[in-house]
Amino acid sequence: MRNRIFSGMRPTGSLHIGHLSVLQNWAALQDEYECYFGIVDWHALTTGYEDKLDLKALIREMALDWLSVGIDPEKSAVFIQSQVKEHAELHLLFSMFTPISWLERVPTYKDQLQQLGNEGKDLHTYGFLGYPLLQAADILVYKAKAVPVGEDQIPHIELCREVGRRFNYLYGNVFPEPQALIGKVPLLPGVDGRKMSKSYNNAISLTASTEEINIRVKQMITDPERLRKDDPGHPEVCVVSKFHHIYTPDIKRVEEECCAGKIGCVACKKYLAENIDKVLAPYRERRLFWDEDGKVEKVLQEGAEKARITAAATMAEVRSALGI
């Protein structure tokens, strides 16, 4: 029997190419693991409870993005978190014995409390404090042995392991201790050099057309000291170069020509736009296939049914261990 994986994303906005490496990593894991990929809509409410998000539309768009990049519903369960109520039940039961201090020491709790608080959000709520515990329930309800995450999420996985250990100590051995699968996730800046974000209007969408890609790449900030086409360039300070490192196979040649003043910024950007478009073009085509009436909804329904079977089996063990 293959080991299980759980991972998820919050449906808070459109995905961009900064998310692409994560999804490509998920797709690559499907042949090795039994995968459960959740669109975690309850998590979206932990910071966005006042935002009146159109969650139905955001969920459908996220599912389309996942399917277009290669998440295969024949290999993986793709589902909406809130359609598998066992997540909430396990979260509630975990909350009975998890010390508040465990939640308060999660690094992202204090960081986001300050950062988002400065933006006017009131996050002094149990939901925000407890979201790492809900995340632990998301993972452990499938008895996931591994979780693909970035390095910033390692403290969350350690909390999940601690919660599982505490349950096992108190009530009997039910949960495995999941391991973090650290994927190589390059941090791409936005076209203006800041963090890539929809809110900054500086991102290249996963659904971007050839024209949109060209427009966005033309907006990228280049070496400020390079005034003429034949001036020597400095790729290390150029946003375009950071994208070339991911999307351009012959990056070494491009950088050598840039440093020697043999390729201008206009031609360099044109070449980058072509390479990004080559990557996104098959995703756009696959997205058209999945965007037909009822296909996404069927995937999410069948994924939830599969997830519920696994989650229900876990919860039967949990209730037995607790004597309820």
Lowest mean pLDDT among 34-43, 59-68, 107-116, 210-219: 107-116
**Contact call for residues 129 and 103 (beta carbons, < 8 A):** yes
Q: How confident is the model at residue 78 (pLDDT cuts 50, 70, 90)?
A: very high
Whether the CB-CB separation of 106 and 132 falls below 8 Å is answered with yes
pLDDT at 185: 66
Confidence of residue 14 (pLDDT cuts 50, 70, 90): confident
Domain residues of the chain, as ranges? 4-187+294-322, 198-286
On whether the 4-187+294-322 domain is CATH 3.90.1150.10, my answer is no
What is the mean predicted confidence (pLDDT) over 44-59? 92
More confident residue, 284 or 52: 284
Q: Per CATH, which fold does 198-286 belong to? A: Tyrosyl-Transfer RNA Synthetase (1.10.240)
Question: Is 183's pLDDT higher than 80?
Answer: no
Share of the chain above pLDDT 90, in %: 72
Predicted confidence at residue 221, as pLDDT, reads 87
Predicted pLDDT of residue 207: 93
pLDDT interval class at 72 (50, 70, 90) = very high
Mean pLDDT calculated for residue range 300-309:
98
pLDDT number for residue 187: 77
Q: Are 276 and 243 in contact (CB under 8 A)?
A: yes
Task: Tell me the average pLDDT of the chain.
Answer: 93
Which helix H or strand E contains 306, and what residues bound it?
Answer: helix 295-322
Q: Give the tokens for residue 7.
A: 């991972």
